[in-house]
Structure 1
Amino acid sequence: MTSPRSAPSIEIRPASPGDAALLAELNGYVHSVHALNRPDVFRAEPAHDELVPIFEAHLAREDLRAFIAQSSGRPVGYALAIVVDRPGDALMRPRTFIVLEHLAVASAAVRTGVGAALVDAVRAAGRAMGCSRMVTEVWDFNKEALAFYEAAGFAPMRHGLEQSL
């Protein structure tokens, strides 16, 4: 395993509604990996002006927690997470958990602690909201992300399967 690159201090701040354009820009770091590996699902280069309203809608959600990572005063990543409150029923116990929906880190900031700091921010937000678990999903092709999440303490929960028709 390679050792982490050293980085200046990492600052994590909550995202605000005015950060939609910044999130749209930072999203390119992770979207390009998805588009390269699953062009059947992801558009190659979504237009920035189409992404901004999507992030504005995310940031307007009451159940969303969003964070921006900065290093040396420059934005280098973000995380979006949704708090889910599920009532119990005849089959399931009631539960509140936080879903890490997006995590993106600039290529130059990978393996510098940015991703871990963002996950820690989501973890803390989940605890503050009374969540008992944090969950996320990883595309099967993204072995680097899978290794990152496992190193961050995540464990497999279920397996999604697909078949072309």
Structure 2
Amino acid sequence: MNIHVRQATATDLDSILILNREVQALHASLEPEHFRSDVDEGEVRAFFAGRLEKANHGIWLAESLGRPGGYVWFEKQEKAGTPFSPVRRRVYVHHIVVAADLRRHGVASTLLRCAEASAHGAGMQRIVLDSWAANVGALAFFDSEGFASLSMLLLKDLRNDGESRFRTSA
């Protein structure tokens, strides 16, 4: 499959919004307390338009079969050192989205290469992202792309008599 990837522009906002609906719906179904299912498209448009203008953000659009098929949105992050940690320079992937009918055709891998190239170009040696534990397809993909667990965020929902939703076997 032929995949062309290019930096997104303001004229691509409609395509980004269409693709974003898929990832937003998935996130809202997996974690409804963290993601809205009733997003306002005007707000989403303004949000992405703002990110397109920021020098430390990148949005790249993949086109295949004559149409937009996915995007990656990432941010170049630089955090000052503290007494506890050194200076941190990395690229953080906020979203990687591929249209359902184009998955497993190399679109996501191609988009990740763009984020990696941007990291290399900025002299950054790390690229990080996060994924919801219930998104097993994404976790398998990221594993196949060489990503490894860096940390684990734990949740204790106090509305259910203090029992955690997550259990590990001992």
Q: Could you state the TM-score of these two structures normalised by the residue count of structure 1? A: 0.90
The match for 2:116 is: 123
1:87-130 CA deviation, whole Å, 9 max, x = no partner? 33322222311001111100001111000000011001110011
CA contact (8 A) 1:84 1:96 kept: yes
SS in 2 for 1:27: helix
Q: Identity, % of aligned pairs? A: 29
> How much does 1:35 deviate?
1.3
- Superposed, 1:1-165 pairs within 5 Å as 8-165=1-158
CA contact (8 A) 1:59 1:66 kept: yes
SS in 2 for 1:22: helix
SS in 2 for 1:12: strand
Which gives a bigger RCO, structure 1 or 2 (Cα 8 Å, sep 6+)?
1
1:25-76 CA deviation, whole Å, 9 max, x = no partner? 1111211111112222222242322311111111121210110000022100
Q: Aligned residues, how many?
A: 158
Equivalent position amino acid for 1:50 in 2? E
Q: Please list every run of 5 or more consecutive structure 2 residues that lacks an aligned counterpart in the other structure.
A: 159-170
- The farther-off stretch of 116-125 and 33-42 is 33-42
Equivalent position amino acid for 1:27 in 2? N
CA contact (8 A) 2:74 2:91 kept: yes
* Greater C-alpha radius of gyration: 2
2: CA distance, partners of 1:145 / 1:25:
20
2: CA distance, partners of 1:45 / 1:77:
22
